[in-house]
Amino acid sequence: MFDLEQSIAEWRRQMLAAGIKTPVPLEELEIHLREDIAQQMQSGFSAQQAFGIAVKKIGQALELKREFKKISAPMEMQKIIKLAGVICVAVALFCQLLFCSPLAFAFVFAHGLRVSLLTRIFDLAVLVIPVAITVLSWKYNHKLLPVIRNQPLRRAVGIVCYVGCLLWIRFVLFHLPTDATGSFALSQFLLFVFLFGSEWTVMAILGGVGHGLEKAASKKSAAIDLLASQS
Amino acid sequence: MIRKELVAASAEPLVLSLLSKGESYGYAIIQEINARSDGKLQWTDGMLYPVLHRMEHRGLIKSRWAESETGRKRKYYSLKKDGKTAMAKHHEQWSLVHGVLAGLRKEQYV
């Protein structure tokens, strides 16, 4: 004799064994299963037939587990990755504005210095371009970055970029073209300003890669995942 | 039967559009899509939930547990502001595709 409740309990056990977590999403799936069974029975199917149809329609446990795993596990890690990216970009912006703006503005607006208009424009660009790149790269890098669907690989690329970002800062800070006597030629000074400004821009770009990859993957994966699950 | 690639691509805009009419739950969403497409748009029922959860994590929709009129516990989903924006974008893009297709089809019969 078919026992519907026992069959549902067995289905729950199979879902749990496959790794579908309780209460969410297992409870939600069970509610769906029960609604479908009720609907099938109203259409004239026996409890056993209705259960069979509903279980088939809801899908296989391992496939469901695979899909849910893509969402639940990474969310906390995603927050950490985003936080790390925000810190990198915030530090980069702060340093760009704090260190580079006085240098650039001094050249642009200082009347005592004999500098050409072209040099002044260049100096202003030294300030504006890195800040613009920093902001735009944070906001839109996910559109340029590839969608890496392999999560460990995506995370690894992000971590490598964070490490690269720190190494880059260390490298540039200790290799800026300073003169031992403290005197700078104009070209040296401009190179100094450029490297100092670009240093933080590179930091922002590299620091934002981890977050950008996550964003790219999450934005483009919804439809692809459903497709993969049906193939 | 609609091709599975199209079914997959249309999942998010369809869910967003359905939820723009008011909050709903998984089973009702599946049923309504099924009814509106005369059973031609068929999803694997369980696979709707990862899609819903992902949309929730992306801030497009939100959810709440509540009891139905029959006393059944259900998880209701509703649209958030970002979801409305995403839906508008989807409509714009699908309309564009539809417009191009319709135009090309019309030319074939001229």
DSSP code for B46: G
CB contact under 8 A, A218 and B4: no
B72 contact residues in A (CB cutoff 8 A): 31, 34-35
Residues A49 and A27 both lie in one domain: yes
CB contact under 8 A, B7 and A226: yes
Instruction: Choose, out of A12, A14, A27, A28, the residue to mutate when testing the contact with B (most B CBs < 10 Å).
Output: A28
Interface subset of B 33-92, CB within 8 angstroms of A:
43-47, 49-51, 53-55, 57-58, 72-75
Closest by Cβ to A223, choosing from B9, B27, B73: B9
CB contact under 8 A, A224 and B8: yes
Q: What is the pLDDT of residues A16-40, one digit of tens each?
A: 988 887 777 889 999 999 999 999 9
Residues A129 and A84 both lie in one domain: yes
Last residue of a domain, one of A20, A37, A70: A70
Q: Is the pLDDT of residue A181 over 80?
A: no
Residues A106 and A164 both lie in one domain: yes
Q: For residue B73, give the chain A residue with the closest CA.
A: A31
Could you list the residue range(s) of the whole structural domain that residue A54 is in? 4-70
Q: Give the pLDDT score at A223.
A: 45
In sequence order, the β-bridge partners of residue B25 are B76
- Asked if A42 and A50 count as a contact pair (C-beta separation under 8 A), the reply is no
Q: Give the pLDDT score at A149.
A: 78
Apex CA A217: angle with CA A30 and CA A22, to 5°?
A: 20
Q: Is the pLDDT of residue A117 over 80?
A: no
CB contact under 8 A, B49 and A68: yes
Question: For chain A, what is the domain count?
Answer: 2
Residues A126 and A139 both lie in one domain: yes
Residues A178 and A122 both lie in one domain: yes
Q: Is the pLDDT of residue B38 over 60?
A: yes
Closest by Cβ to A28, choosing from B12, B72, B75: B75
Indicate the pLDDT class of residue A110, thresholds 50, 70 and 90.
Answer: low
Last residue of a domain, one of A70, A87, A120: A70
Task: Tell me the shortest Cα–Cα distance from B106 to chain A, in angstroms.
Answer: 30
Residues A127 and A208 both lie in one domain: yes
Which of the pair, A227 or B24, is modelled with greater confidence? Answer: B24
The residues, ordered by sequence, that sit 6+ positions from A54 with a Cβ below 8 Å of its Cβ are: A33, A36, A37, A40
Last residue of a domain, one of A26, A54, A70: A70
Q: What is the pLDDT of residues B44-102, one digit of tens each?
A: 899 899 999 989 988 899 999 998 877 888 999 999 999 999 999 999 999 999 999 99
Q: Give the pLDDT score at A127.
A: 77
B8 contact residues in A (CB cutoff 8 A): 223-224, 226-227, 230
DSSP code for B78: E
Could you list the residue range(s) of the whole structural domain that residue B95 is in? 4-109
| CATH number of the domain enclosing B20 | 1.10.10.10
Which of the pair, B35 or A168, is modelled with greater confidence? Answer: B35
Buried b / exposed e across A198-213, counting CB within 10 Å, b at 16+? bbbbbbbbbbbbbbbb
Residues A176 and A219 both lie in one domain: yes
Q: What is the pLDDT of residues A67-77, one digit of tens each?
A: 887 775 556 67
Dig out the tokens for B14 from the structure.
């369809």
Q: Give the pLDDT score at A220.
A: 62
- Prediction pTM value: 0.57
Q: Give the pLDDT score at A231.
A: 43
Which of the pair, B103 or A170, is modelled with greater confidence? Answer: B103
CB contact under 8 A, A59 and B49: no
CB contact under 8 A, B4 and A230: yes
Q: Is the pLDDT of residue A108 over 70?
A: no
Question: For chain B, what is the domain count?
Answer: 1
Query: How far is residue A149's CA from residue A162's CA, in Å, rounded to a whole number?
Result: 20
